[in-house]
């Protein structure tokens, strides 16, 4: 699985997931930080990336698309450390759901 972290989430999240051995990039790493949601989605689908975002607009793109994956982060605004701690607690369950074939996962 490959993950692309959207602009609303910190680059530290992509580094955190990469440290777990995952192929993970932040949109800044691939020069998409100023791109539209559609451009980011199209890039992700073409490359087989699962988008990790807080942006609800991606939900509409994911629902209408035959391909691609979405981890929609619904956690309230928080600093980086509590965000990473939440991902640490729930990551194996999230990963398992994607491996089981789920396409869209809401993460609370």
- Looking at residue 88, its pLDDT comes to 97
Ramachandran class of 9: left when φ > 0, alpha when ψ lies in -120 to 50, beta otherwise: beta
Q: What is the pLDDT of residues 48-100, one digit of tens each?
A: 999 999 999 999 999 999 999 999 999 999 999 999 999 999 999 999 999 99
Q: How many domains are contained in the chain?
A: 1
Q: Note the pLDDT of residue 33.
A: 93
The residues that bridge with 49 in the sheet, in sequence order, are 2
Q: Which helix (H) or strand (E) holds 75?
A: none
Domain span including residue 9? 2-107
Locate 101 and state its tokens: 């074939």
Cα torsion angle, 5, 11, 13, 19, sign: positive
Given this model, what pLDDT does residue 91 score? 97
pLDDT at 59: 97
Helix, strand or coil for residue 92?
helix
Q: What is the DSSP letter of 66?
A: S
Give the H or E element holding residue 29: none
Question: Please, which pLDDT band fits residue 30 given cuts at 50, 70 and 90?
Answer: very high
How open is the CA angle 96-99-105, to the nearest 5 degrees? Answer: 70
pTM of the model: 0.96
Q: Report pLDDT for 41.
A: 98
| Cα(67)–Cα(21) distance, integer angstroms | 24
The pLDDT score that the predictor gives to residue 38 is 97
């Amino acid at each position: 699985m490959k993950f692309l972290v959207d602009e609303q989430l910190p680059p530290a999240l992509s580094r955190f997931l990469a440290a777990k051995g995952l192929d993970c990039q932040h949109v800044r790493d691939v020069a998409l930080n100023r791109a539209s949601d559609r451009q980011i989605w199209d890039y992700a689908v073409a490359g087989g990336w699962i988008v990790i975002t807080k942006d609800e607009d991606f939900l509409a793109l994911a629902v209408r698309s035959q391909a691609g994956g979405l981890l929609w982060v619904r956690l309230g605004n928080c600093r980086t450390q509590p965000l990473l701690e939440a991902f640490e607690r729930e990551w194996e369950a999230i990963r398992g759901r994607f491996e089981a074939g789920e396409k869209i996962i809401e993460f609370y």
